Chain A
């Protein structure tokens, strides 16, 4: 725990004013000015004492932060407890102290987000309140919080007293989600089969599932007349539940960053991030259409994620995308990225040039270079880069 007084510009101005008043009072021997000087000095002393006692009684704790997403507000909550019996706390500012950034994808939080602070106006004695900091993550990945700092300039704004408490926690920043053009997924479904497996459950689809006794309310169109005639009883036909569309996104990151064909490394890294964002956006859109989704990442040691259809599965996929470390060594494609028996549609997302995967020439291929053309509202994704190429997406494994 670190407690300290920090220099504060208004306090320095105040000290200068105090000196001026003292010198004027001494020069003029003006008793009213002596009183004003006394009052100003008293304010300084009281400010130091009050702020010290206030901070000593405060206890701050970061509540487990939720995951964030690039370019979306991320709320981190803090519990502030005033342990004093009589002195309330006013004007408390809470912020995160920056800690050392470690390797292995664990970024110091400042690399991912701009500093922000929460403000709590008042905490009564023996009371616990919650304040929130709203961060705006700029970068995907794993961020580490190290210590929380609370500070106050109350009562007179002359001295800033701060207190830091060590509390290490980690969280993930998911990739940016982009609004894709309508029909992207639908047009992809025209190519190849996507989810043509027959469901093993009864439902209201078109495929034959079985027969059963007639129940009141069954439609006359669903009665198997011939069989009913044979058994001399009404028999209804059960239809199979429609099988959800299946989609697997294959994110191809086998090409190392330095081998991408760009003018500088930053552009290459930006391309890779765009590819990840595109993959995340496609998965998010597919989840919204009730697809069963799965993810395979080539070139990075991430286990392929099976096809499922629920929110936790989506979060699991997003977490996997968030934890991709682009600085690590890239692995060659060792095995088939998609099992043939999976019978799912495949969209391959690459950073740069499209290289069709063996056995998946019929898959849909998207390149990060063409991201702008896939967006519902094309915009400049980054500042002045020459990466925005307005070309139509390439399908069927053809090269641009």
Chain B
């Protein structure tokens, strides 16, 4: 009974957990405090010594009130439907907690808690929510199993009470019928179900096809969904929420001079991944498509990208990845890459205009690469790229200032900075002007009026039609590196200066002992490049340096260690669960396939070798394999037959109670009395089991009333059994055949 008594408490705990999960997903501490307090109070009020519950009419009125509130909420937050739904679900749950608890109300609470968690899943994927989800799943399983028992018990009490008395007025004397160790069995079964459920759900999670049916009903993603730091091929400034830092180390970078000696700390390194030179509007930067060169790279040596470069002036950048790459991966490099090699043969795409490298789509398993880079490419090299650079400039789409506010701001800044607001016509003057203007804009972005932050949940307004970059520069002045880089490029574009956004990593962490840089996921960065010469792009990082220092440098101590550990966990959670996509699925499938194919083929090879050896030993020739197959099949059949015979012997001994017999008598009984066991089995399958306490003749007599059509056959079989078992008669072959026929006849009649 203690099992059933624990149900209301566990259900309440489950509901509290669901409320906690949704509040974490919505990142709303206020809602957590309010809802949590009200929920806790409901237990005291309804389950206390003088339990009071909301009358039905009042709870209905409250539900109507909640509905009105939701409609008003929806009007204000049209773009955040999920948050509105979550708040409505919490209101309903709270109202339900104050109502009278019948069996149906418990089912409603279970369903509402599930709704809360599903809504939370749609809004958040951070580690903390994941932990709550796992706890909810474990507790929810236990509560759901208990609910089955609790609901059935309440129904049986209601049925057994005369006159249909209400459940809460039933006497407690009606107790459930339960066997030995009910509690222990229930707990063991719960654990077994949980483990098998986890295994099956994991299988479904891994095997469920990704990218099938995406957005088939439109986009229903929460703008509050959090992201984890890391490289991305495009920038979307309209996605707000919070960016979680992940200090998972993804690579190490080593710089070698021309003699091959590792260089010392060079300061923060900007590792270029891709150049985003096309503005799609609404804060989205992408890369403009263009002609790419496909280069085959091998581990044997460096593959040149520019034939005119003298190796003597290039330094080597060695990158070792902590995790092998899947799919298209950028090859990060500082400066201009002039040659590349990798730890395995692969195909690489090279964009001469952007000076960026990436592996081809089908590449996988890359663990490291080396790139020769030069800080200042010779003029001859740049000239060779001239046509492509200019062509790409025409293709890129610049920032468009819809209301002119950014252009106005740019001109005002130039005026305040003493830089002419009009662009000079001569090329050299124009490039100098570009440099000066970019410096003014950078100083503006470095000013204290701008704040660096990774949490935009309070800043980003959804439904605001203003361009995010314009809003950043004019109104909010809060954002992360992508906003700062986009702001600088937008200011430059508004006055006609060629500029582009670059995404990659900034390596801050230099390991003095190993003389290499450690690159973390949190080191993902965005900066700008401004054209300051005919064929030259100057790197400018508009993110305030103090903020970068604070964000990337480790503070040391226990707090930092704990934070690092948590971020590592969150990174693993994010990478292995939240971001498990079609590419990762294919990769996993491929690796499993490869592993299993290897193992199976090695086993087959081993077996074939052994068979060949045996065949050679006996010198039978090709027919030897057939003989081996026959022998193997015969062995398998013999094993199966032995097992079957053993099981039957044990069943006969147990059913006919022959355990006390020994020797020849025992063997005779086993051999002759099997037909009686067959009769018992046939009757049992037909729903007429023989009770162990009932003598065979009495059982046969009882069938006169239950199954009169089989009574005569059963009586005859039983008579034979008695003759053999107790009469000492040795059954002849004809008797055994007769018994087998009777059993078959019985089975036919029972069908």
| Chain A interface residues toward B at CB < 8 A | 1, 10, 17, 21, 23-39, 41-43, 45-46, 50, 59, 61, 73, 82, 88, 90-91, 93, 116-124, 127, 129-131, 134, 153-157, 165-168
Check A123/B179 contact, CB under 8 A, given A93-B152, A167-B706: yes
> Which of A33, A34, A129 is packed against the most chain B CB atoms within 10 Å?
A34
**By the criterion CB–CB under 8 Å, are B211 and A29 in contact?**
yes
Q: Which residue of the partner chain A has the closest CB to B201?
A: A38
- With contacts A24-B122, A90-B148, A153-B148 known, is A38 near B216, CB below 8 A? no
Q: B153: which A residues are within 8 A, CB to CB?
A: 119, 121
Most buried by A among B152, B210, B706: B152
Report the minimum CB–CB distance from A33 to chain B (whole Å).
Answer: 5
A28-B221 contact given A90-B149, A155-B148, CB 8 Å threshold: yes
Q: Is B177 an interface residue (CB 8 A)?
A: yes
Quick check: A131 and B177 within 8 Å, CB to CB? yes
17 contacts between A and B (CB under 8 A): A23-B213, A23-B217, A26-B216, A27-B214, A29-B214, A31-B125, A31-B577, A31-B579, A32-B125, A37-B208, A61-B689, A116-B159, A120-B176, A127-B180, A153-B148, A155-B145, A155-B148
Interface positions of B from 90 to 123, Cβ below 8 Å from A: 107, 114, 117-118, 121-122
**In the complex, chain A residues whose CB is within 8 Å of the CB of B659:** none
B220 and A27 contacting across the interface, CB-CB below 8 Å: yes
Assuming the A-B contacts A28-B221, A38-B201, are A88 and B185 also in contact, with contact meaning beta carbons closer than 8 angstroms in the complex?
yes
- Chain A residues touching B, majority SS: mixed
Question: Is B687 a contact of A165 with CB atoms below 8 Å?
Answer: yes
Cβ–Cβ contact B197 & A46, under 8 A: yes
Are A41 and B189 in contact (CB-based, < 8 A)?
Answer: no
A400–B201 Cα gap in the complex (Å)? 82
List which B149-185 residues lie within 8 A (CB) of chain A. Answer: 149, 151-153, 155-156, 159-160, 162, 176-182, 185
A82 to chain B, nearest CB (A): 8
Q: Which residues of A contact B117 (CB under 8 A)?
A: 36
Which residues in A have their C-beta under 8 angstroms from that of B217? 23, 27
CB < 8 Å neighbour of A26 from B213, B221, B706: B213
Cβ–Cβ < 8 Å partners of A24 in chain B: 118, 122, 220
How far, in angstroms, from A127 to B200 measured CA to CA in the complex?
Answer: 31
Q: Which residues of A contact B107 (CB under 8 A)?
A: 10
B148 pairs with A41, CB closer than 8 A = no
What is the predominant secondary structure among interface residues of chain B facing chain A?
A: helix
Instruction: Judge if B686 is at the interface, Cβ distance under 8 Å.
Output: yes
Please state if A42 and B687 are interface contacts (CB–CB under 8 Å). no
Complex CA gap A63/B201 in Å reads: 44
Q: Which residue of A34, A46, A93, A130 contacts B196 across the interface (Cβ within 8 Å)?
A: A46
Name the B residues within 8 Å of A90 (CB-CB).
148-149, 186, 189
Q: Do residues B118 and A21 form an inter-chain contact, with CB atoms below 8 A?
A: yes
**From A23, A41, A119, contact of B204 by CB (8 A):** A41
Q: Tell me which of A17, A45, A121, A168 has the highest count of chain B C-beta atoms within 10 A of its own C-beta.
A: A121
The minimal Cβ–Cβ distance linking A111 to chain B, given in whole angstroms, is 20
Bound CA span A165–B683, Å: 12
A38-B204, A127-B180 given. 17 additional CB < 8 A pairs? A10-B107, A26-B213, A26-B216, A31-B205, A32-B125, A34-B205, A35-B201, A35-B205, A36-B118, A42-B197, A42-B201, A88-B182, A90-B186, A117-B159, A118-B156, A119-B177, A121-B182
A30, B122: Cβ atoms closer than 8 Å: yes
Q: Which residue of A33, A91, A119, A127 has the most chain B CB atoms within 10 A of its CB atom?
A: A119
Complex Cα distance, B145 from A122, in Å, reads: 13
Closest A residue to B705 by beta carbon equals: A168
How far does the alpha carbon of A1 sit from the alpha carbon of B117 in the complex, in Å?
Answer: 43
CA of A155 to CA of B142, assembled, Å: 10
Please name all residues of chain A whose beta carbon is closer than 8 Å to the beta carbon of B208 when the two chains form the complex.
25, 34, 37-38
Q: Which of A27, A129, A131, A166 contacts B215 (CB 8 A)?
A: A27
Please provide the chain B residues from 236 to 251 with a CB less than 8 Å away from any CB of chain A in the complex: none
Return chain A residues, CB-CB under 8 Å to B580. 31
Q: Among residues 121 to 139 in chain B, which have CB atoms less than 8 Å away from a CB atom of chain A?
A: 121-122, 125, 130, 133, 137
Q: Inter-chain contact count A-B, CB under 8 Å?
A: 170
Residues of B within 8 A of A42 (CB): 196-197, 199-201, 204
Q: Who on chain B is nearest to A33 by CB?
A: B121
CA A50 – CA B688 in complex, angstroms?
24
B122 touches A41 (CB 8 A): no
Interface 1/0 per residue, B619-644 and A, CB below 8 Å: 00000000000000000000000000
B residues less than 8 Å from A45 (CB atoms):
200
A27 to B218, CA, bound (A): 7
Chain A nearest CB, measured from B207 CB (Å): 9
**B40 nearest CB across to chain A (Å):** 27
Chain B residues contacting A166 (CB-CB under 8 Å) are 687-688
Contacts of B427 in A (CB 8 A): none
Known A-B contacts A36-B118, A46-B193; the reply to A119 vs B148 at CB < 8 A is no
B179 surroundings in chain A (CB, below 8 A) = 82, 88, 122-124, 127, 129
B648 within 8 A of A: no
Question: Considering the chains assembled together, what is the distance between the CA atoms of A27 and B220 in angstroms?
Answer: 8
Q: Is B147 an interface residue (CB 8 A)?
A: yes
Contact among A28, A32, A34, A35 for B220, CB-based, below 8 A: A28
A1: B residues at CB distance < 8 A: 685-687
Interface check B144, CB cutoff 8 A: yes
- Given A37-B204, A122-B182, A32-B148 contact (CB < 8 Å): no
Give bound CA distance, A61 to B702, whole Å.
Answer: 14
Chain B proximity of A321: nearest CB distance (Å): 25
Known A-B contacts A129-B177, A134-B160; the reply to A32 vs B196 at CB < 8 A is no
Inter-chain contact A121/B178, CB cutoff 8 Å: yes
Shortest CB distance B731–A (Å): 30
Find A27's partner among B200, B213, B688, B706 (CB 8 Å cutoff): B213
Q: With a CB–CB cut-off of 8 A, which chain B residues contact A117?
A: 156, 159
A124 touches B181 (CB 8 A): yes
Q: Is the CB of A43 within 8 A of B578?
A: no
Whether the pair A38, B205 counts as a contact (CB closer than 8 A) is: yes
B351 to chain A, nearest CB (A): 29
Q: Is the CB of A41 within 8 A of B133?
A: no
Contact of A121 among B118, B152, B687 (CB under 8 A): B152
Q: Are B185 and A122 closer than 8 Å at their CB atoms? A: yes
Q: Are B144 and A156 in contact (CB under 8 A)?
A: yes
The answer to whether A122 touches B147 (Cβ under 8 A) is no
B212 touches A (CB below 8 Å): yes
